[in-house]
Structure 1
């Protein structure tokens, strides 16, 4: 049973520490920037791959520091990602981060993670996160690809229309919830998403 609690973090307002600048570190950074192009990331590694440096250079919110990991880099951080090829270093990062009550993700080591970087589908303002409870990142990837194909691009028009409609509603909270439930009921019906998207309010 999956007991994970999904949340959406404003990583452009939080400080993320990424330890590791190789292939895995590049993958983690790519994931962060794809979801949040302005994610505030400090990357620390003894050396960085060219792919990592090229990716980091696409935004001014990523700071690159060539150095071995040290506990001092945990200062002022909210989230920590350990992505080195050294299990002992990854464990050290995890243990020292936990002493500071920081949230930690250790690459390819689910037992040491407070959170996972799952598959994410983004269509304008719509964002769907997919988790396999750390069992199969590949399955999460395939599900992401499927949802990206199935969800119409017009879904963002639908969300804009629903937001505009909600702003016109009068009455108390209970009334507004009932009205929104009624108008969005068709979303669960096959083929209705695209039709609703074209129904301009």
Structure 2
């Protein structure tokens, strides 16, 4: 029997992309930590409610309240904030009161509401990592609570290593996938596998810069190759399929 399988490394977290769009999220507290959490949540299109006395809001959180970006409950947290009819999907606490935070965490456990208690890993159902963001691209670095500052440094290093325009190229890949699904809408396992395989070959063959340079006409030309299973190069699409291209020869080779 083969034993060539991945080695198990315990002690990690299951890193997921949590789809929180349109869901209710409660943030308890209004200081600097809460402000950072709110940015992450709004970037994920969550519906955010901040529970904190008005005089406890820092400048950034107060701005988001005043701009209507988040709802505001002007008082301390109460159990009624997690009543079932409010459909709270998760709660984040960022307050300077460990006892109150623990009480909120225990209440969340009884109600089975996922919670993140700032700076108390043992009372967190999930963690926030250091995230590099470039359009649709998100890369999270997590140290599982051991070294947040190091996570931030590593995240910056990763961001600097990525080719310029990576986010834009990923955006183009998404557009290409949608065009492909229009001409090949099959939903069987075989259809899905074929689409994924062809797209994988395109992504392996084309560079970030080439994806950045393609337009809608290029994409339309490219997806026409799908049924044949062929993956043309960028040059074949841009030059070989355009009737408006003027070919110039420098005399370095002759006609056979």
The TM tier, using the shorter chain, reads 0.7 to 0.9
Distance 2:98 2:174 in 1: 47
Judging changes above 3 Å, is the alpha-carbon distance between structure 1 residues 55 and 123 closer, same or farther for their aligned structure 2 residues? Answer: same
1:53–1:135 CA distance, 2 compared to 1 (3 A): same
Superposed displacement of residue 113, structure 1:
0.3
> What TM-score do the two structures reach when normalised by structure 1?
0.83
| 1:105 counterpart SS class | strand
* Matched-pair contact (CA < 8 Å) for 1:18–1:42: yes
Q: Which has the higher contact order (CA 8 A, sep 6+)?
A: 1
Q: What do residues 45-97 of structure 1 show as CA deviations (whole Å, max 9, x unaligned)?
A: 23423322124334x24111121221111122110011110000000110001
Q: Which residue of 1 aligns with 2:52?
A: 45
Equivalent residue number for residue 103 of structure 1: 114
Segment of structure 1 superposing worse, 141-150 or 156-165: 156-165
TM value normalised by structure 2: 0.67
Q: Is the 8 A contact 1:186 1:193 kept in 2?
A: no
Match of 1:159 in 2: 170
Which residue in the other structure is 2:199 paired with?
180
- What displacement does 1:135 show? 1.4
C-alpha contact 1:39 1:62 (8 A) present in aligned 2: no
Tell me which of 11, 14, 27 is aligned to 1:5. 14
Where do residues 37-116 of structure 1 align in structure 2 (5 Å cutoff)? 38-46=45-53, 47-51=55-59, 52-58=61-67, 60-75=68-83, 76=86, 77-116=88-127
C-alpha RMSD of matched pairs (Å) = 2.4
Total equivalences in the alignment: 194
Q: Is the 8 A contact 1:39 1:61 kept in 2?
A: no
Off by >6 Å, runs of 4+ in structure 1: none
Give secondary structure in 1 for the equivalent of 2:122: helix
User: Matches of 1:173 and 1:29 in 2, distance apart?
Assistant: 37
**Higher strand proportion, which one?**
1
For structure 1, the residue ranges without an aligned partner over 5 or more in a row are: none
CA distance in 1 between partners of 2:122 and 2:143 (Å): 14
Q: Could you give the per-residue CA deviations for residues 138-188 of structure 1, whole angstroms, max 9, x where no partner exists?
A: 12212222233333452244224333443336472222222122122257x
